[in-house]
Amino acid sequence: MVLAEQFGTPLWVMDEATIAQAANACKAGLVQSQYPDWQVLYAGKAFLCLAMCRLTEQLGLGLDVVSYGELHTAIEAGLAGESVYLHGNNKSKEEIERALKHNVKIVVDCESELHLVAQCAQSSGTTAQILLRVTPGVEPDTHHYIKTGQHDSKFGLALDETTRIAKLAKDLAPAVALIGLHAHIGSQSHDIGPYLEIIDILADCFVDLRAQGITSLTHLDVGGGLGIAYTESDKATPIYEWSLAIGKKVSESFTERKLPLPKLLVEPGRAIVGTAGVTLYRAGHSKQLPGGVTYLAVDGGMADNPRPVTYQAKYTACVANRQSTQGKKITLVGKYCESGDVLIRDVALDAQPGDLIAVFGTGAYNYSMSSNYNRTGRPACVLVKDGLANIIIERENADHLLRQDRIPDYLRAKNARNCAV
Ligand SMILES: Cc1ncc(COP(=O)(O)O)c(C=O)c1O
C-alpha cells in the first residue's frame, strides 16, 4: 500500500532477501554435493539492471548475458568480465568484440559464429575462451516456446557435429581456446530428470572429444531452466535439490567415464528472481457481461507482463490494500488494446475498482520482456530490503517515449512542441 502511494502503480517490487535466499540455496546444494569446482551464473535475461548486477556480485554469482545491452549493463555495473559468459544464437561482431575486450567467455552457437569469434580475436590480438553449445535432444516438460534442447532447436550444435566443430576450434588456436561444453534445455521445468540426462550426454561428448585428441575442456555448463511455482498446481523443485542433484550427477558421470571433473556451471534465472517479484496494479473499471463474466481492468497488463499473452502463463493475485475474502471469480485484464491482454482468467478475487492488486511471481521475464506497447512507459521497479525500498529502475514517462523520436523536416509543424532534431 505504502509502496504504491510512494512510487505509483503499476510497480514492480523485488525482494532482495528472496533473491539472496534462492542464490544461497543454489550454492548450498553444490556445496552439499561436494563437487569440488563450480560457479553459479545468474541468467540475466530473467531480470537485469545495474542494481541486479551489483547484487549478483555481492551474492557471489557470475552472470550469463545474451545481448550487447546485457553485456553493457554488466560492464557498466563494474562486474569482472572473467565471471561473465556471453550466449545467444546470432551474436554480432560488436557483441563479440566487446566481450573479448573484457575477457568475457563466449558460448559459441554455430560454425559460422566460431569463425567470426576467431576473426574478432585475431584482429584484437586476444584469445577467445569459448564453450560450444550443443543441442542434446532432451526435452523438458514445458511450453514449446521455451524448450531449447530438442533436436530441431534454433540453439546450438547438433550432437553429431560437436566433434567436427571442436576440431575446427582447435585448429583456430591461438585465436580460440575451447574450454568447455554447454547445454540448456529450456525454461520453467520442474523435473530434475532431464538435467541428469544431459549430464550423461555431455560427459559422452567429453569422452568422444578426448578420443579425438581434444583435451582442453575444463568447463561444463548445464544451463538453467528450473521452474518456480506460479500457482498451486505447479510442483516446483527447490533450487537446493536441483543443484545438489546436478553436482552429484556430474561427479558420478565423469568419474564413471574416468574423466577429470570439469568446473561445473549452472545458469538459473527464473529460480533466482521469479518469486522475489510482485507487481502492484491499481484496479480501474469493472464490467459485468450478461453471460456472467466480470472483467476488472488494472492500470498495466501485457506491456509490463507479456507472459500470459505469449505463452498462456498463469499467475495468482490478491487484494493488497484491505482484508478481503476469496470473492467470486473475475477475469483480471490489462489496459492494452488486445483481447489477449488478460492477466489472470477466472480468479477468485473480491476486488473492486480502486483496489490495489498484487500479482505474485513476476520477478522473472516481466521487466525483461516488457514493452512500450500502446506508447506506454514502463513501470518503476523498487528493490526492497529490511523494510526499505529503493528505486532501481525509474518509471518511464510520456516524455521518455519521445526521446528517440525524430521528425523529418518536411513533416515539421510550426506549433509542434517537441520537434526533436
Ligand atoms: C542459455 C540459457 N541459460 C539460462 C537460461 C535461464 O533460464 P531460466 O530463467 O528458466 O532459469 C536461459 C533461458 O532462456 C538460457 O537460454
Phi-psi region of 198 (alpha: psi -120 to 50; beta: other; left: phi over 0): alpha
pLDDT at residue 414, rounded to an integer: 73
Q: Quote the pLDDT of residue 360.
A: 98
Q: pLDDT grade, residue 1 (50/70/90)?
A: low
C-alpha dist (Å) from residue 175 to 68, 122, 134, 167, 198: 21, 5, 21, 14, 29
Question: Do residues 79 and 53 lie in contact, with contact meaning Cβ atoms separated by under 8 Å?
Answer: yes
The model's confidence at residue 362, banded by pLDDT at 50, 70 and 90, is very high
- The answer to whether the beta carbons of residues 158 and 135 sit under 8 Å apart is yes
Give the whole-angstrom CA distance, residue 129 versus residue 108: 10
Residue 377, judged by CB atoms within 10 A of its CB (0-12, 13-18, 19+), counts as middle
Quick check: CB of 95 below 6 Å from ligand 1?
A: no
Lowest mean pLDDT among 19-23, 154-158, 182-186, 275-279: 154-158
At 228-245, the pLDDT tens digits run 999 999 999 999 999 999
* Rounded distance between C-alpha atoms, residue 264 and residue 228, angstroms: 22
367 CA → ligand 1 middle, Å? 15
Q: C-alpha angle with apex 238: 274 to 390, nearest 5 degrees?
A: 30
How far, in Å, from the CA of 194 to the mean position of ligand 1? 15
Instruction: Indicate which residue's Cα is closest to atom 12 of ligand 1.
Output: 224
Could you tell me which of 183, 212, 213, 214 has the C-alpha nearest to residue 199? 183
Q: What mean pLDDT is predicted for residues 56-67?
A: 98
Q: Is the pLDDT of residue 148 over 70?
A: no
Q: Name the residue with the closest Cα to ligand 1, atom 8.
A: 225
Ligand 1 atom at minimal distance to the Cα of residue 133: 1
All domains of the chain in start order, with CATH: 16-272 (3.20.20.10), 275-402 (2.40.37.10)
pLDDT band for position 421 (cuts 50, 70, 90): very low
Q: Mean pLDDT of all residues in the chain? A: 94
pLDDT at 420: 54
The whole-angstrom separation of Cα 31 and Cα 244 is 8
